[in-house]
Structure 1
């Protein structure tokens, strides 16, 4: 259920990468509910929300990305919004991941944003309501343990977001970012399942966010929909934290008295 203004996205066409599961599916659903025509680009688009249009696309394949973006415009006549959400995770310190793992994560998390944006920009420049939102992570700035590779990739996404915003604001294309905290998604569930004590690890993840719980995919989707929408026409180069205060708050620790 959305609290968005009725018809906010009516007539607009959006692309959401990685939109068939987790945060991406919530974003695709939110934009659809707000009136957008939504194309989901995903390795396996079978999970794309009802009413959206799925395309099987690997964001590491430039030709496939360009074909899909061109097809969306051919089908719907325009492109107004791009949400670069596709990403993969990695765990470990800087000693733990091989060069091949580094290349694989950067290919998706960083170059995937580049490829999709590059293919979309010629069409976005024609739109009266053009917006790109890049989905990053609290890992871009928080210094999380055992997330060296993932953090580096999301730090790059944050820097890229600001550079893109500066480059394209005069083209009429607004670029912003969202940095979620730890979100309750299938990816996090898999991480927890691999932990020695999954219940204890969940408590740790919840406790490190000041509001003491995991973020929901719908909360991230609401932030993306705001930044990408016409109501945010003067919001450019912003990176919005959706993390329960993790990025900036330092509340007093809870102390159990004996």
Structure 2
């Protein structure tokens, strides 16, 4: 049984098409999208239309919900707020687009895995509207705060995106109280894919990285993950895509020349 995961597309249709071609070659049994279809790049209408045509199980990301107007961003995230406002205006002209983003679930669960944008341990309680504070990054403090909950979590596999850095966090069972030293972190090298074998005694939190960027590890390649439950392996893929057309499309957008976070795309 092969299951494919990708997310954090952020309007990058060139990267998205490379991922679609990649999973069509692999022919997995199921495919999940980890959210953030839109936000950042000014082409959210393109990626949203393409993703809706694929009809894949998809969870909501923080950018999806900010673009749809569910909650505001952190005040210091000026570039991100401007990108969200741009995409919100863009998608307001597409019938049903914002309602679709608001309809996405925060998580999907199966018997073996939890699928969501960021963290099952930071989701809002039932009946509470999500906020940007529910979408922090997975640093040592966040890991420390959820170790006990992670060890007793019903599913041994957690698949998420959000951090834009591909990695597999392995919580090794020691029999005692878990701490940070019990976590092994597996990361792919720049430009290379990585496969690890699953230990039946460990728990895994898989961060799939970003399809469309911004790439927080500096590697301009689309990222995705494959779980092979028969072989008991995880593969983190680095998928190249044509950067020239993306650079040209972005350079033609005068508004985006002022967003420093996205300047690396123009310097490729």
Identify whether the pair has TM-score above 0.5, normalized to the shorter chain. no
TM-score (norm 2): 0.31
TM-score (norm 1): 0.32
Greater fraction strand: 2
Greater fraction helix: 1
Of structures 1 and 2, the one with the larger relative CO (CA 8 A, separation 6+) is 2
